[in-house]
Structure 1
Amino acid sequence: MNNSSVASSTSDDALNIATIAAEGLGDKLPHLWLNRGDLSQKLMFRSLFLPDADLKNEKPDLAKSYTVSDDKLTYKITMKDGVKWHDGQNLTGEDVVWSIGMVLKASQVNAIYTSAFSSIEGAEAWIAKKSDHISGISVDGKTITIKLSKPVGNFIPVLGQFAIYPKHLLKDENPLEIHNSDFWKNPIGNGMYKLEKLEPGNYASFVPAETYEGKKPKVKKIVLTTVSEPTSAAKTGKLDFFNTNVVEIIESMKSVDNFAANSIDMLFYRYLVVNIQDAEGNKNEEMADKRVREALMYGIDRKILAEKLYPNLATSLNTGVPSSFNEYDTEASEYEFNPKKAKKLLQEANFDFNKTIKLRYYYEDQTSINFMTAVAQYLTELGMKVEVLKFQGDVASELYKMKDYDLALKGLSSFGYEEWYGEYESKNANFKNVFGSEGIFDNAVNRLKGTEDMKERQEILSELQNLEVEHLYKLPLYTIKSYYYVNEEKVKTSGIYGNPWYNYDMKFEEWEIK
């Protein structure tokens, strides 16, 4: 969608927001069980709990209150009175139970949900179609009881991300295709705003929902479009609020005086996925040798690339825990740029320099392209033959099924360390096809998922970092900041900004058009 088409839908008295993309909106809005955080999604659909901006504390939202047993296995959640769907139907505990059951069978979901909810008693039998219900969930009036087979340390935070869907409108959908349902052409939510109109290829507009029982918002309309050049849209008054971590956009927005830039530190990872072996143990011989993977880490000057390509945006990584965080293991290998050591490791591994190393990426921004070109140059200087190409098909299929690559650039917006380390688990449906399924990390990952105790988590994270260094299945590159941009001449916000890919309390009821 070009910026000229935005003009027909944006409004001076509305909050104009945008998704950055080359193409306009389709005939459906995105579902929420894969990515939760877009502003329109936050405002249309709610969860049982609402986290604060740092995702560390939650307050009841659709829920009124909750209790947890001493053994951390039984949760009793009391639903709030008077909560309705946008079509006027009551939202009940049955919607919650049905949503949890559906997400466990859905095909496009964020792993934080399946990881947490698969620990509910009876979930395994439900998924395997050996039972027609999840035995560990029950509803009695306003109270939902959830019984776990093992503790899940972040169970309440996960429920704070999980969007509840309307059972009465989606109960007949195939869970494998629920993300493609016609429901998303006119989704019925339960939040502060409802969809007013979806104009495919152009815009979607949202207005306050009269069914919302909370404090009424001051912003009377929100208009969502897609723009390929947000700086131009911002300069011409067609865009008021958006977020990005694309370097070119961040640089170009410095020329827009009326917009404030708000940077957010978060666990957004960039790393190289290494095609080592599949779940059956079939190996990619060159990449399966750890010395080759170590050579790649020593042979790429990540510090220089961060300074040149991601100025004031990227922080180099050695493990899944950033070095500035308290949980970082200070004894972890730092992989300083050392091409001499890299070449020695390749020689020791009897690396076949006649083989062409396939580098792949799926990002479309110029900085990512420049980054992969630079990586190719570093590998060439080590004596390798290199081919760099963008994935042409579906990213998930290319990464985890077709696997026609040796190294692939990937991003991960992580809700917590559990996601980064969960990719190493032998039961991970996708990554077992990349790293194999030996289960080396399983015990420690399961213990991390099961505890909230900070001292215990520190010890487990140290253990996991040691395992990372020992096996080096992923090549960590950076964590990258994200930026929120706000037209301060027009919009007054609450000043609260968090990870844009997750649900959190933005205090949107305080926002207003000046």
Structure 2
Amino acid sequence: MRTTRKMASVAVVGALALVATSCAESDRGEGDGSGGGSSTFTFGAAGAPEMFDPLYATDGETFRVTRQMFEGLLGIEPGSAEVVPELATEWTSNEEGTEWTFTLRDDVTFHDGEPFNAEAVCANFERMFDQNEAGQVAAEYWGYVMGGFSNDPDSSLYQGCEAAGEFEAVVTISRATSGFPTMLTLESLSMQSPAAMESGDANGIATEGEGFSFPEYAQAPVGTGPYTFGEYDEANQTISLEANDDYWGDAAKTDNLVFRVIPDESTRRQELEAGSIDGYDLPSPADWSGLEDGGNSVEIRDPFNIFYLGLNPEANPMLKDLKVRQALMYALDREQLVQSQLPEGAEVATQFMPSTVSGYNSELEAYPYDPEQAEQLLQEAGAEGMTLKFAYPTEVSRPYMPDPQQLFEALRTNLEAVGIKVDVQTASWNGGYLDNVTAGKYDAYLLGWTGDYDAAFNFIGTFFGNLKENDFGTEVMPWGKQLADDLQSADGIVDEAERATAFETINQQIMEDYLPGLPISHSPPALVVGPDVEGVIPSPLTAEEFDTVSVGGE
């Protein structure tokens, strides 16, 4: 999920695995509309949503809530990154990959009773496309995957939507891309009630200081999911959702779903142990065994992330030399770091994506820990004793980076051992660190990425696919444009096998010829639930759906 750093409001199209067609029925099954729950599941959230319209959301805590209320044309199989039908039962494209026909479910209504049909689908696309100036900044995901809005249609991947029948919608895009239609699994592109959006002035967003003023609709939006919006009690920092009695699929296992905002991780653990919440996300790896000893269940997700040491040759010209970047790679004892600092199941990275993503190059081997080779390369480059302005974030724990300071200190020790002088820099995650990385204020920095979906471009395309919109300073490198062009070309290959081969080649070039940054590791993040909780399905995308969860044997 794109919660690791800020995105440009208009960026290149993200890439996803191309789904040519799918005819399988949803595994949700058919609900009887009676409502299946008789209890409450309370989850400890690390932060409070600013509002609840997924189109304008960018952070994981907001999506954790909206995911329970909204659905997209396509969904993700629980417990995996596999694309499956959701509100669309099948989808096909023309040979050029530019016209996509979606066959829709005919038994779905929005929470306000309005019908879900092809006209509603097109109304949603047009609503997302037609944003005012403030909306174009706030709707970051649309800008990221679609490239543009109605004021600049030539830059937009999206070109139009037509209702070809009551339950058949045809969406036209400007070019073939591996990003479509799998991008429709994104929470931000969920389907919402056109009637509710119109009455609530959903697009009436405005700038307010450095943020936004959201319309009435954003505080109580209307979707099709297994839960409906209840209330947001800001005073007590709780968000309450209620089971949707008219849901088209299997009824939610609980009548109520509550999110309690508890920013401190240690406090969340205390609340779980006291029984006042039923679960929380990202428990410290050091606490896993203790939590399990207390009868709780630590649910470990499969790794779908990358932790890396970013390099910025714009800030430090010495980093333009490949030998210097290779020296830094050889200097890092990543195997020791994985064994001592990261949870069980973490592994050293050989490239900027996990092995489960199509396009991963299985022939690549990890750079070994070789401080003598590092010193030799630094000498050859005339960079002995170089100073590196190296930064890490505070006040944060990420799935790939559970304790930033400890990880930083281990890497700092490695660098200093080969003669590099480290100028330590730090700032809080949302209090300057991300902005400083984007502004190029550090020579080197710790950051990472949890994939939005199963696609090579969503990893390496996000990092290097836009020459000017990346944090690695590749614009000043002689190979920067070629790498960006190669990634865009690979993204446009319609044949899945050919596209995978192209990305495998690019991954090899990145690691052997370019090395724009230093991939460190992949980690399996966890969430924890209490002894009486059943039915949690851990998601490698950290995108759990809680309608399958029951509490206390209910």
TM-score range, shorter chain: 0.7 to 0.9
Which residue number corresponds to residue 481 of structure 2? 439
Pairs within 5 Å for 1:315-326: 315-322=347-354
2:125 maps to which of 97, 109, 112? 97
**CA-to-partner distance for each residue in 1:234-292, whole Å, 9 max, x for gaps?**
211122233326423435423321x2222221321111111123xxxxx6312222222
Which residue number corresponds to residue 5 of structure 2? none
Partner Cα separation in structure 2 for residue 31 and residue 395 of structure 1: 25
User: Comparing 74-83 with 261-270, which one deviates more in the overlay?
Assistant: 74-83
- What TM-score comes out, normalization by structure 1 length? 0.82
Aligned 8 A contact 1:231 1:249 in 2: no
Q: How many residues align?
A: 482
User: Comparing 198-207 with 357-366, which one deviates more in the overlay?
Assistant: 357-366
Structure 1 297/138 Cα, relative in aligned 2: closer, same or farther at 3 Å? same
Partner Cα separation in structure 1 for residue 391 and residue 507 of structure 2: 26
Shift of residue 62, structure 1, vs aligned partner: 2.6
Structure 1 354/481 Cα, relative in aligned 2: closer, same or farther at 3 Å? closer
The amino acid that maps onto 1:238 is S
Structure 1 397/132 Cα, relative in aligned 2: closer, same or farther at 3 Å? closer
The amino acid that maps onto 2:438 is Y
Aligned 8 A contact 1:292 1:345 in 2: yes
Question: What do you get for the CA RMSD once the two structures are aligned?
Answer: 3.4
Structure 1 434/317 Cα, relative in aligned 2: closer, same or farther at 3 Å? same
Pairs within 5 Å for 1:37-56: 38-53=63-78, 54-56=80-82
Which residue number corresponds to residue 240 of structure 1? 278
Aligned 8 A contact 2:298 2:527 in 1: yes
Aligned 8 A contact 1:84 1:190 in 2: yes
Partner Cα separation in structure 2 for residue 81 and residue 377 of structure 1: 60
- What TM-score comes out, normalization by structure 2 length? 0.77
The amino acid that maps onto 1:187 is P
Structure 1 132/151 Cα, relative in aligned 2: closer, same or farther at 3 Å? closer
Aligned 8 A contact 1:275 1:287 in 2: yes
Which residue number corresponds to residue 58 of structure 1? 84
Shift of residue 435, structure 1, vs aligned partner: 2.2
Gaps of at least 5 residues in structure 2 are 1-37
Structure 1 44/220 Cα, relative in aligned 2: closer, same or farther at 3 Å? same
- Determine helix, strand or coil for the equivalent of 1:423: helix
Shift of residue 386, structure 1, vs aligned partner: 1.2
Partner Cα separation in structure 2 for residue 481 and residue 49 of structure 1: 25
Structure 1 320/232 Cα, relative in aligned 2: closer, same or farther at 3 Å? same
Query: Does 1:217 pair with 2:247?
Result: no
The amino acid that maps onto 1:400 is T
Which residue number corresponds to residue 20 of structure 2? none
Which residue number corresponds to residue 409 of structure 2? 373
The amino acid that maps onto 2:408 is M
Query: Does 1:68 pair with 2:93?
Result: yes
Query: Does 1:382 pair with 2:424?
Result: no
Aligned 8 A contact 2:44 2:260 in 1: yes
Shift of residue 210, structure 1, vs aligned partner: 4.3
Which residue number corresponds to residue 29 of structure 2? none
Which residue number corresponds to residue 345 of structure 1? 377
Aligned 8 A contact 1:188 1:194 in 2: yes
The amino acid that maps onto 1:373 is E
Which residue number corresponds to residue 413 of structure 1? 450
The amino acid that maps onto 1:501 is T
Shift of residue 300, structure 1, vs aligned partner: 1.2
Which residue number corresponds to residue 106 of structure 1? 136
Pairs within 5 Å for 1:129-278: 135-140=159-164, 142=166, 143-161=168-186, 162-166=189-193, 167-168=197-198, 169-174=200-205, 181-182=214-215, 183-200=217-234, 202-210=237-245, 212-227=247-262, 228=264, 229=266, 230-244=268-282, 246-257=284-295, 259-277=296-314
Query: Does 1:299 pair with 2:327?
Result: no
Partner Cα separation in structure 1 for residue 146 and residue 154 of structure 2: 17
